[in-house]
Structure 1
Amino acid sequence: MISTAERVHLTRAALVAIGAVFFLIGILASAYGPLLGYLSHRFGISLAIAGGTLSAHFLGALVGVLVSMRALQSVPSRSFMLGALSLLGLGCVGVALAPSWGTFLGAVLVIGVGFGALDIGCNQIVAHSEGAGRTAVLNVLNGAFGFGAVAGPLLVSTVGRTHLSLLYGGAAAVAVGVLPLVAAGISGRLPFTARPTPTRSSALVGMFMVAFALYVGIETGTGGWMPSHLESIGLQSLAAATLTSGFWLALAVGRLLAGFLPARVPEPITVVAGTAVAALALLMALNHAAAPVAYIVAGLAIAPIFPTGIVWLAKLRPGDARATSWLFPASMVGGAIIPGGIGAVIARFGIAWTPAVLSLVAVCCLIAFLVTARGSTSRAGRSKLS
């Protein structure tokens, strides 16, 4: 096991740099959708082919996460972050200078690998770093990602469609600009244990993975299907789109607000309460008059679940960052599969049932977290007796 002296230590400058990284990858992740029409025109391809940009990014992100799960076990945290940032910057330069569609798509794939590496790396490094208040810090940093996701479409609409090279060149400059802060402010390694993992611990991690996959299904499913549902109950497209932006903004604001929760509030309470409120809010969205507000409330409720859940598991398995690393591929699987499953159910029963289906996913997520909380409590009790 990694000793305390070798554990990850972060200076305030490093936390600022990580916050900037979260904001940057939030912008990059949300910029592709608004750019599809421009890409279709620029490269002379159909809109469907331009949509391959999204697939390339998330394929790269999955590769980045899977490779990073192994790399973080053998590479110092500083070196890992420097490499991931350099890769992201290289991809952004490639997009800015891409002369053809194939080159552009390849550069997006490189951005995706860097994105996935930074996503798991930043979350893991903060969750397993020394010092108190990790839950609050990780919520605030993930809030920066949310604000970046809100800013991305705005930057595309004002700059990106006419000056794509400027947008991605600026992103590369930010990635390079934070390198000195990372180099000076991050030290140590993530903790990993070489001991065999007990069956009960593996089951606990498995339940966390299921719960996280369902959580991401709630987040992406709500963001993806609420515009269609709101339009079906009479709202104009612009109003539905604005409210959907409000959902994502609520997600970002909620994470910032979670940073002010007292440290004495246990992580399981925050996660379970947020999931329960989200399930109720989504069910209330069946009422046409309440739907706009209900979706925003759901965004606020689920906001702290992802970062707080990571710290929860990190505290249960303090000597092994391998456990929390599995939450990231699980989340990606949930984001890829569950919204499609929700769509299949909606196609069978009608768009009017969208809130009920989303609420059902939230209830399943709540059950998974309750089982996880009960299992972790039992495990803690056995540890005290032994």
Structure 2
Amino acid sequence: MGAMAAAYGPLLPYLMRRFAIGVSVAGLVFGVHFAGGLLGVTASMLSLGRLTSRVAVSGALGLMAIGCIGVALALSWLVMLAGVFLIGIGFGALDLRINQMLAYSVNPKRVALLNGLNGVFGIGAVAAPILVSIAGARYGLIYAGGAAVAAVALLGFRGVPGRLRGASSSGTAPSSRRTARLVVIFATAFGLYVGVEIGVAGWMPTHLHSAGFGLAAAATLTSGFWLALAAGRFLVAPLTLRVSDSAIVLGGTAVAVLCLAGALIAPFAPVAYIATGLAIAPVFPTGVAWLATLNPANPGATSWLFPASMVGGALIPSAIGLVIARVGAGWVPTILAAVAIGTLAAFAAAARS
């Protein structure tokens, strides 16, 4: 999953050359992936009390495998986008199910486990830009490998347990006015947060290339961002046993704002982006656990965070592409910093609620 999400940014120059498209059209891969993800998480939400996790996870992996094959063999831009859409559906469904299984487990270390799980996601994301820099125009090999990995993973999920603790077939609607208010605030924050994460990963290579870095160097440096994101989640795991969820989320988001502002200085941009990855590393998993703690018997509350994340991931990076097509790639850090400020404001509102 991490590799699939992280590959799009470094792939943009190769997609533009292969399909003879501009940067704004190439940027549609972000929106299409997360549009598929939105469909996937919505279907997964609706099936929380109806399908066992084993069935849902197996179906999601199968869709990702088919999508990877489609991308690997695509000879036209529309076929490419269709494959990306299928990957997105599987991605969204799998993302929600696995995170929910841990967030609502009885394990007292579930916050640390969530950060570890998302850290493994980051390891795959680290590998993707490196693989793209090696494969170049032969990127289809990467997706063929992704299809093979998904097929093997299907065998490993035979022992996945059944339904979530607290889940029922009655739906996923928030159960009280306070819960509904919290869900809206958290959903807004998560949508903006994922816009920052995917926006950095997706447009960092383009910004660095415009600042004078080579394509291969920009792709490799993007791996540094994903490495920081993965490492940060592993490093923060012990901290979650001593520091409150809200403090971790607010602190990480505030530091990210400063780092993105620092990316405006071209020579320091690579370090600033990598530091951003380290800062935002615990935000997603710890934020899920934060809301789960506030609603321990209602998996429906946190399930709304995932479609919100997909909306943010679909709209914000694609919107950045449209903006920089007019004003230039030098504006990428400014736009991302503004979105990060919005994220911080939303999480601050959640802490006050």
Report if TM-score (shorter chain) is over 0.5. yes
What letter is aligned with 1:179?
L
What does residue 65 of structure 2 align with?
A: 89
- Residues 189-238 of structure 1 show CA distances to partners (whole Å, capped at 9, x for unaligned) of 35236597221210111110111122123223333454555566x54345
What does residue 47 of structure 1 align with?
A: 21
Instruction: Give 3-state SS (helix, strand or coil) of 2:238's partner.
Output: coil
What does residue 369 of structure 1 align with?
A: 347
TM-score calculated relative to the size of structure 2: 0.82
Aligned: 1:64 with 2:40 = yes
How many matched pairs? 347
What does residue 190 of structure 2 align with?
A: 212
- Partners of 1:72 and 1:83 lie apart in 2 by 14
Stretch of structure 1 that moved more, 138-147 or 336-345? 336-345
What letter is aligned with 2:195?
G
Counterpart contact for 1:36–1:47, Cα < 8 Å: no
Percent same amino acid at aligned positions? 52
- Partners of 1:52 and 1:348 lie apart in 2 by 16
Instruction: Give 3-state SS (helix, strand or coil) of 2:108's partner.
Output: coil
Counterpart contact for 1:222–1:358, Cα < 8 Å: yes
What does residue 76 of structure 1 align with?
A: 52
List aligned pairs for 1:273-312, cutoff 5 A: 273-287=251-265, 290-312=268-290
| Structure whose CA Rg is larger | 1
Q: What is the Cα deviation at residue 341 of structure 1? A: 5.4
- Partners of 1:287 and 1:315 lie apart in 2 by 40
Q: What is the Cα deviation at residue 155 of structure 1? A: 3.0
Counterpart contact for 1:73–1:190, Cα < 8 Å: no
Q: What are structure 1's unaligned runs of at least 5 residues?
A: 1-24, 376-386
Counterpart contact for 1:72–1:190, Cα < 8 Å: no
Q: What is the Cα deviation at residue 310 of structure 1? A: 0.6
**CA distance 1:69–1:282, shift in 2 (3 Å):** same
What does residue 201 of structure 1 align with?
A: 179
- Partners of 1:364 and 1:146 lie apart in 2 by 24
- Residues 127-179 of structure 1 show CA distances to partners (whole Å, capped at 9, x for unaligned) of 12231211111112212222212212333454585483x54443333223233
Counterpart contact for 1:95–1:107, Cα < 8 Å: yes
Instruction: Give 3-state SS (helix, strand or coil) of 2:58's partner.
Output: helix
- Partners of 2:110 and 2:306 lie apart in 1 by 18
From 125, 129, 142, the equivalent of 1:149 is: 125
TM-score calculated relative to the size of structure 1: 0.76
What does residue 28 of structure 1 align with?
A: 4
- Partners of 1:98 and 1:343 lie apart in 2 by 23
Counterpart contact for 2:69–2:144, Cα < 8 Å: yes
Query: More relative contact order in 1 or in 2 (CA 8 Å, sep 6+)?
Result: 2
- Partners of 1:98 and 1:311 lie apart in 2 by 39
- Residues 287-324 of structure 1 show CA distances to partners (whole Å, capped at 9, x for unaligned) of 55654433322221111101110111111111111111
Q: What is the Cα deviation at residue 346 of structure 1? A: 6.8
The root-mean-square deviation of aligned C-alpha atoms, in Å, is 3.4
- Partners of 2:8 and 2:317 lie apart in 1 by 19
What does residue 381 of structure 1 align with?
A: none
Q: What are structure 2's unaligned runs of at least 5 residues?
A: none
- Partners of 1:102 and 1:290 lie apart in 2 by 38
Counterpart contact for 2:190–2:309, Cα < 8 Å: yes
